[in-house]
């Protein structure tokens, strides 16, 4: 769920003004979101969802920092309510070769999780390390993107007239969910 929200928020980043020549700039910003479930099938276990998210994207001297805090409540068919409270922080170098993250998450149906990690990629390969995994590092493909580098690749692709970008994106999460295979369709702006 966290990865989906982060991906959606990153794709909503304001991309400068577009004139005769395409020029995009990712702008540091803060955004607040309200979440709710539209319609639920009467036989579904989840009948209502509501939540709030606060997302911040900022710059430091050598990279990008992002923070997201959210709470989501799920109301079940039997009237029971479950809640997830999460805090996610990340930093990515301007060169797109280093990434670090911290996660704190608790819910009414799982034990509290607090962990962090970092990753790096080179032209040959990459590695990711997790504080909750004592064994060998996760191997990353050489073409792995971190979120800001991925966003910039989408913008650059649009500028060059590309319509598709397939990429491995490392977002930082539980080791089983940290590396995503993505396909991004790049459309044209409608004014």
- pLDDT tens per residue across span 180-190: 999 999 987 67
- Give 124's pLDDT tier (boundaries 50, 70, 90): confident
Both tokens of 68, joined, read 């997201």
- pLDDT tens per residue across span 76-112: 988 899 999 999 999 999 999 999 999 999 999 888 9
Distance CA 74, CA 186 (A): 33
What percentage of the chain has pLDDT greater than the value 70? Answer: 87
Distance CA 55, CA 48 (A): 23
Considering the entire predicted model, what is its pTM? Answer: 0.78
């Amino acid at each position: 769920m966290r990865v989906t929200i982060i991906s959606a928020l990153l794709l909503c980043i304001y991309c400068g003004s577009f004139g005769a020549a395409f020029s995009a700039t990712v702008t540091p910003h803060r955004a607040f979101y309200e979440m709710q479930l539209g319609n639920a099938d009467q036989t579904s276990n989840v009948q209502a969802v509501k939540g709030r998210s606060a997302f911040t994207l900022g710059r430091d001297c050598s990279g990008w920092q992002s923070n997201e805090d959210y709470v989501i409540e799920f109301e079940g068919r039997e009237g029971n309510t479950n809640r997830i409270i999460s805090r996610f922080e990340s930093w990515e170098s301007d060169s797109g070769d280093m990434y670090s993250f911290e996660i704190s998450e608790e819910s009414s149906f799982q034990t509290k999780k607090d962990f962090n990690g970092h990753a790096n990629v080179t032209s040959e390969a990459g590695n990711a390390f997790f504080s909750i995994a004592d064994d060998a590092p996760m191997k990353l493909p050489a073409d792995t993107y971190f979120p800001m580098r991925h966003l910039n690749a989408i913008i650059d692709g649009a500028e060059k007239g590309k319509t598709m970008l397939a990429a491995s994106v490392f977002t930082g999460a539980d080791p089983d969910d940290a590396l995503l295979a993505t396909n991004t369709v790049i459309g044209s702006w409608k004014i």
